[in-house]
Amino acid sequence: MTVTVAVTGATGRMGEEVLAAAADRDDVAVAFAVSRSPGAEVEGVAVEDAADLSDLLAEHDPDVLVDFTGPASCVEYAAACADAGVAFVSGTTGLNQGGFDALREAAGEVPVLYASNFSRGIAALRRAVREAVPALDGYDIELTETHHNAKRDAPSGTALTLLDDIDEVRGDSPRVHGREGEAPRSEGEVGVHARRAGDIAGEHEVLLAGNHESLSLTHRAGSRGVFAAGALDAATWLSGRDAGWYDFTEVLE
Ligand code: NAD
Catalytic residue among 60, 148, 151, 212: 151
CB within 8 A of 78, min separation 6: which ones?
A: 67, 88, 90, 102, 103, 106, 112
Which pLDDT score, from 0 to 100, does residue 136 have?
98
CA distances from 97 to 78, 94, 101, 103, 111 (A): 15, 10, 6, 10, 19
Active site residue 147: yes
* Range 92-98 contact pairs with CB under 8 angstroms and sequence separation of 24 or more: 92/67, 92/68, 93/153, 93/156, 93/157, 93/158, 94/70, 94/152, 94/153, 94/157, 95/71, 95/157, 96/71
Which of 8, 11, 14, 52 to mutate to test ligand 1, by most ligand atoms within 8 A of the CB atom?
14
AA identity, residue 204: H
Amino acid at 193: H
pLDDT of the chain, 253 residues: tens digit per residue: 899 999 999 999 999 999 999 999 999 999 999 999 999 899 999 999 999 999 999 999 999 999 999 999 999 999 999 999 999 999 999 999 999 999 999 999 999 999 999 999 999 999 999 999 999 999 999 999 999 999 999 999 999 999 999 999 999 999 999 999 999 999 999 999 999 999 999 999 999 999 999 999 999 999 999 999 999 999 999 999 999 999 999 999 8
**Considering only CA atoms, which residue is closest to atom 18 of ligand 1?**
73
- Which of 34, 69, 122 gets mutated to test ligand 1 (max ligand atoms within 8 A of its CB)? 69
151 assigned to active site:
yes
Query: What is the reported pLDDT for 234?
Result: 98
User: Measured from the CB, is residue 70 less than 6 Å from ligand 1?
Assistant: yes
CA-nearest residue for atom 34, ligand 1, is 93
User: What pLDDT score does 123 carry?
Assistant: 96
Contact 129, 162 (CB under 8 A): yes
The 3-class secondary structure across 150-191, one letter per residue, is CCCCCCCHHHHHHHHHHHHHHCCCCEEECCCCCCCCCCCCEE
Predicted TM-score (pTM) of the model is 0.95
Give, using CA atoms, the residue closest to atom 37 of ligand 1. Answer: 91
Q: How far is the CA of 14 from the centre of ligand 1 (A)?
A: 7
Q: How far is the CA of 208 from the centre of ligand 1 (A)?
A: 31
